[in-house]
Amino acid sequence: MRNIIFIAPPAAGKGTQSNLLKEHFGYIHISTGDLLRAEIASGSKLGMEVKNIIDIGNLVSDDLMIDIIQNKLTGIKGKPFILDGFPRTLNQAKVLDEILDDDYEVIYLELDKEDAIKRIEGRLTCSCGKSYNLNDEELKPKVTGICDNCGKKLVKRDDDNVEAFIIRYDNFLNNTKVLVDYYNNKNKLHIVDVNRNINDIFNDISRIVAND
């Protein structure tokens, strides 16, 4: 099973597709956003520092992110994994290539800004990692405000507001072109249109994973 790197704007469904890949193929899901939010929740000094950066939609420094990802990858040695949220800069991508063998495929989940804004406005998340969307029938929780999986209360992420979203989306676009070119030149890039239903997207991703 090939390791997967997701490149995607906020709210493109990385988390949802990662959960499906986890269930169907046993992938380990590594979300750098989740790792940072766990650090914030722990109340550590580092958590407090990154919270200020994340809440306004900016990127955390490459050095810190590379440290975090190196530790995580060392811990799961040998098991197939999905990187969700890393790399976000060319520097991160280059360091990742030093860590990984050639054993990965890059999946770019394509979603335009207007559709992403709609998703952000309706998004609710659970601390177990599952995401919901009140603007999408497929993604509404069965009971309002409660996680279908674990029964915990759903919350709105502090950075899921239109102001922070615009900074996050623009950061994404600024950094993505260079990443897309980098992986395209390496013949690693697969583009998937995510303005479709979850199963169709998952089928496309499964085919990419199966063919490689």
Chain residues in the site for ligand AMP (CB under 6 A): 10, 32-33, 36, 53-54, 57-60, 65, 85-88, 92, 168
Other beta carbons within 10 Å of 100: 14
Closer of 158 and 212 to ligand AMP (Cβ) = 158
Respond yes or no: is residue 168 known to be catalytic: yes
The nearest distance, CB 210 to ligand AMP, in angstroms, is: 26
* Gap between the Cα atoms of 30 and 48, Å rounded: 21
Other beta carbons within 10 Å of 195: 12
* Gap between the Cα atoms of 165 and 10, Å rounded: 8
Out of 37, 119, 130, 168, which one is annotated catalytic?
Answer: 168
Respond yes or no: is residue 88 known to be catalytic: yes
* E strand intervals along 12-138: 28-31, 81-84, 104-110, 123-125, 131-133
Respond yes or no: is residue 119 known to be catalytic: no
Respond yes or no: is residue 14 known to be catalytic: yes
- Burial of 58 (C-beta count, 10 Å sphere; 0-12/13-18/19+): middle
* Gap between the Cα atoms of 38 and 127, Å rounded: 9
CB of 24 closer than 8 Å to CB of 78: no
Closer of 40 and 211 to ligand AMP (Cβ) = 40
Closer of 13 and 57 to ligand AMP (Cβ) = 57
The nearest distance, CB 91 to ligand AMP, in angstroms, is: 10
Respond yes or no: is residue 2 known to be catalytic: no
The nearest distance, CB 127 to ligand AMP, in angstroms, is: 13
Closer of 63 and 212 to ligand AMP (Cβ) = 63
Out of 2, 51, 118, 157, which one is annotated catalytic?
Answer: 157
Out of 88, 118, 153, 156, which one is annotated catalytic?
Answer: 88
The nearest distance, CB 58 to ligand AMP, in angstroms, is: 6
Tell me which amino acid residue 24 is.
H
Which are the catalytic amino acids? 14, 88, 123, 157, 168
